[in-house]
């Protein structure tokens, strides 16, 4: 196939546009970012569960839909989802989901967590600068990816609960940023290998692609389970 609808995180059933939309969400990687917010929230002494749910929804809308729609729109290569979506449809998806995310966020920032404003502004900047490759792609790098979609979500989760920042939260944010760096470092060669395999490829490339895929599956599932487990301790306790 000429696009990425044959990826492991895309369902093999349903209409092509449905499959492309599920693929657009990059659910395993979006799940990692959502788990980072849960990890950040779990560091708080007391958890406000409405804020956990609100931040999960914010990141799902802004990243899962908005950022990925912008990434497809701003791709310098062939669109990763082929012709399943027009530029107009991608723009509407991005604008609607990001607007909804910030509407929810502004409510909490005005009433409860003003310290979340700097994170919201930074995430908004990276959402545009990274995915649309502004400034000649200066911010479309592995390091900025790890910071914006690894470290900042952890801090957002903690700040959303406490309206404060602590040294342990900063350390955990740095650790999750490094895990995100592992993800993107494995994802880029994996994507290149899959592209080559669609055009033929050889046995060595096929085996390498399988190895990278196993790394990505294990990493994404492991982070998601970690977030659920740490937050689950507050439920049990």
The structural domains of the chain, ordered by start, are 16-236 (1.10.600)
Smallest CA-to-CA distance from 153 within 135, 133, 138, 175 is with 175
User: Cα–Cα distance between 214 and 211 in angstroms, integer?
Assistant: 5
CA distances from residue 71 to 3, 39, 49, 77, 165 in whole angstroms, order as listed: 15, 26, 31, 11, 30
The answer to whether 160 and 41 are in contact (CB under 8 A) is yes
Query: Tens-digit pLDDT profile for the chain (237 aa)?
Result: 456 888 899 999 999 899 999 999 999 999 999 999 999 999 999 999 999 999 999 999 999 999 999 998 877 666 677 778 999 999 999 999 999 999 999 999 999 999 999 999 999 999 999 999 899 889 999 999 999 999 999 999 999 999 999 999 999 999 999 999 999 999 999 989 988 888 888 899 999 999 999 999 999 999 999 999 999 999 987
Angle at 196 between CA 145 and CA 185, to 5 degrees: 20
Prediction pTM value: 0.95
Angle at 139 between CA 60 and CA 184, to 5 degrees: 60
**In this predicted structure, what is the pLDDT of residue 1?**
41
CA distances from residue 9 to 25, 28, 55, 141 in whole angstroms, order as listed: 9, 7, 23, 23
């Amino acid at each position: 196939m000429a696009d990425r609808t044959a990826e492991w995180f895309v369902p093999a059933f349903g209409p092509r546009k449905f499959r492309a939309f599920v693929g657009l969400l990059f659910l395993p990687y979006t799940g990692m970012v959502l788990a980072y917010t849960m990890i950040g929230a779990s560091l708080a002494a007391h958890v406000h569960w409405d804020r956990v749910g609100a931040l999960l929804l914010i990141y799902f809308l802004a990243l899962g839909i908005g950022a990925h729609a912008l990434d497809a729109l701003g791709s310098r290569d062939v669109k990763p989802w082929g012709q399943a979506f027009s530029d107009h449809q991608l723009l509407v998806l991005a604008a609607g989901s990001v607007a909804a995310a910030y509407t929810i966020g502004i409510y909490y920032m005005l009433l409860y967590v003003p310290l979340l404003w700097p994170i919201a502004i930074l995430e908004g900047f990276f959402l545009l600068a990274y995915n649309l490759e502004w400034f000649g792609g200066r911010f479309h790098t592995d390091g900025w990816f790890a910071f914006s979609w690894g470290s900042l979500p952890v801090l957002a989760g903690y700040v959303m609960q406490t309206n404060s920042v602590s040294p342990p939260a900063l350390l955990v944010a740095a650790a999750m940023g490094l895990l995100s760096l592992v993800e993107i470092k494995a994802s880029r060669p994996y994507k290149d290998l899959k592209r080559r395999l669609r055009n033929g490829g050889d046995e060595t490339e096929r085996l390498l692609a399988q190895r990278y895929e196993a790394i990505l599956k294990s990493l994404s599932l492991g982070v998601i389970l970690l977030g659920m487990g740490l937050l689950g301790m507050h439920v049990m306790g």
